[in-house]
């Protein structure tokens, strides 16, 4: 595996963990050249998992999109990159389980999974994500969502 820091291909595996009910492996690696630590993933190549958009279009599941949205929602909040990665892994695992039969999941179900996870760990991040995901256009929508959050 090539080190993203120095480009060396000499590394060692420091830790391995099984994810997604044994369908993926997360490996923590350390570059023997510069000592930089990074994470790699091994997944079984399977039929491509698709996301069905609200307008009916289908596009490939993109973990990076979820990670970007979650990172954005948790920006300047007290959460490490490892915690964000863990949350994204959980969302990805649950999405795969929900869409296991036909290898697809609706974008609505995917967004709801993210909101569910964010609601548990950080209410501010939940509101940030919900405001983009649900296209809030005025203050009343924010207030309504906050009231729903407080009732739960």
Q: Per residue in 100-119, pLDDT tens?
A: 888 899 999 999 999 999 99
The predicted model gives 85-104 an average pLDDT of 89
What secondary structure letter does DSSP report for 122? -
Q: Which of 57, 133, 41 is nearest to 93 (CA)?
A: 41
- Which tens digits make up the pLDDT trace of 38-65? 999 887 766 788 999 999 999 999 999 9
pTM, two decimals, is 0.68
| CA dist 94 → 97, 111, 116, 148 (Å) | 5, 12, 11, 24
Alpha carbons 13 and 28: distance in angstroms, whole number: 6
What was the pLDDT predicted at 106?
94
Decide: 48 and 58 in contact? Cβ < 8 Å.
no
What CA dihedral angle connects 67, 71, 72 and 78, to 10 degrees? Answer: 160
**Domain residue ranges in the chain:** 1-45, 46-151
As a dihedral over the C-alpha atoms of residue 78, residue 108, residue 134, residue 57, rounded to 10 degrees, the angle is: 120
Residues of the chain by 3-state class (helix, strand, coil), percent to 5: 45, 20, 30
* Residue 99 predicted with pLDDT over 90: no
E-strand stretches of the chain: 11-19, 24-31, 37-43, 50-52, 58-60, 104-106
DSSP secondary structure code for residue 60 in this structure? E
Q: What is the mean pLDDT of residues 120-141?
A: 90
What integer is the mean pLDDT of 65-91?
Answer: 93
Mean pLDDT across 86-108: 90
Dist CA 15 CA 82 (whole Å): 14
């Amino acid at each position: 595996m090539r080190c993203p820091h120095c480009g060396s291909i000499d590394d060692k595996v420091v830790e391995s963990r099984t994810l997604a009910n044994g369908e993926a492996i997360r490996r923590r690696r350390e570059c023997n050249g510069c000592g930089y630590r990074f994470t790699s993933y091994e997944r079984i190549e399977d039929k491509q998992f698709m996301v069905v958009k609200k307008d009916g279009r289908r596009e490939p599941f993109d973990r990076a999109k979820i990670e970007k949205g979650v990172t954005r929602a948790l920006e300047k909040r007290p959460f490490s990159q490892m915690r964000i990665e863990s949350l994204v892994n959980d969302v990805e695992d649950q999405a795969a389980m929900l869409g296991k039969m036909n290898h697809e999941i609706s974008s609505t179900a995917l967004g709801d999974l993210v909101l569910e996870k964010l609601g548990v760990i950080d209410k501010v991040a939940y509101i940030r994500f919900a405001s983009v995901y649900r296209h809030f256009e005025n203050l009343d929508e924010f207030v309504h969502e906050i009231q729903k959050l407080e009732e739960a």
